[in-house]
Amino acid sequence: MEKQFRFVENGSVSTPAGFLAAGVTAGFKKTGAPDFAMLRSTVPATVAGAFTSNKFAAAPVQLSRQKLLDSADGLFYGVIINSGIANACTGQTGLQTAAASCDYAARVMGVDPAQVFCASTGRIGVQLDLDLIRRGVDLAAAALSADGGADAARAIMTTDTVPKSVAVQFECGGKTVSIGAMTKGAGMIEPQLKTLHATMLCFVTTDAGVEKDLLTDCLEPCTEDSFNRISVDGDMSTNDTVLLMANGCSGVTIRRGTPEAELFRTALEAVLRELARQMVMDGEGATKFVDIQVQHAPSREDARKCAKAVANSLLCKTAWFGNDPNWGRVIAALGYSGAEFDPDRTDIYYGGIPVVRDGGDAGTPESELAGAVNGRIVEILIDLNSGDADYWVWTSDVSYEYVKINADYHT
């Protein structure tokens, strides 16, 4: 389909009609930086969600996932998010605190506690201070605004260096539909989110009216082809969460099997991919954005295994940081990936320049290859010449700064 949507300048999670947002300082961060956000729909919104598949899922993940499963109509009003403490591995006390947080936020909003989500990001194994949550709720509720999306995006940051927001718009029947979103995440990034099943949090809003099942059917493939295609360090968080809210305030209803439904899905995918791109660009200590494309694999799973093996190889990541075109490290990662392919038919290109031909040195001078890996963006094409399946992954390098950030994070 020809692109029929447009990106909104300075768009955010509060760009869609009927959504309000705020970001405030509740006191979770010792620095005094904003650390609490609230997102609210002025009318009930249908919601679809995707959550971490980590067995140590944090208390807010467990609670929000259960609320979504238990909801008969899938209608919710909003979410509160704290940054600085993950409320993960905190046992029954953590679950009780998460529930109490939602209850208090619901009272302030004047809605049913079952219709409010919570999310957290930060240190694992530390209990949340409910008094700080209450303070954050009070401050955020007073600050809610249709222009508050940027503040909310800033408040959910941890090791991020920049807030991450985006919005798109398209026309349906003479009316404008908006999709807005915010995310945070710079490290501990390889989500592998499951629909209904240093963290990646994403909150998406739309003023289209979309029934719950269709919203879920749109979110699942769009998440698979965006957040599940990125890896900063190969570590999956305990708190990864994506919530997609649709409130219908545009006056447009998206119905299954229509051109409008396909347009909505395409626009949603563009929003999530843009946020995924921003996350990798802001990866902890990252100096490279690495685009890995695998083609002509025997199966999609084989292509995926190859792309992920290269993306998560520490030897490849450190070579990229050093502007080293050492293709032997890429070959080694492909070899242990577990994928089925013929090594003797494998070709590799850096920025379109042949590096490996038929599983061996392509003969390109190393000085020429070095130029293909010393920029901010590195493109690696792996042609297995063994089938017709393909897969892509976006990743980053590993720098001295990455080690410093994560060595100092706890202390």
Pairwise CA distance, residues 204 & 312, whole Å: 28
Indicate which residue of 15, 121, 158, 199 is catalytic. Answer: 199
Closest residue by Cα to residue 244 from 198, 276, 213, 274: 213
Are the C-beta atoms of residues 74 and 114 closer than 8 Å to each other?
no
Measured at the CA of 276, the angle between CA 195 and CA 341, to 5 degrees, comes to 80
Pairwise CA distance, residues 221 & 141, whole Å: 33
CA dihedral of residues 118, 194, 76, 271 (deg, nearest 10):
100
DSSP characters over 165-202: EEEEEEEETTEEEEEEEEEE-SSS-----EET----EE
Pairwise CA distance, residues 282 & 270, whole Å: 18
Pairwise CA distance, residues 159 & 233, whole Å: 14
Spatial CB neighbours of 30, under 8 Å, sequence gap ≥ 6? none
Pairwise CA distance, residues 401 & 286, whole Å: 8
Does residue 199 have an active-site annotation? yes
Burial 326-359 (b: 16+ CB within 10 A, else e): bbebbbbbbeebebebeeeebbbbbbebbbbbeb
Pairwise CA distance, residues 97 & 95, whole Å: 5
Are the C-beta atoms of residues 397 and 288 closer than 8 Å to each other?
yes
Closest residue by Cα to residue 172 from 250, 65, 61, 276: 250
Catalytic residues: 199
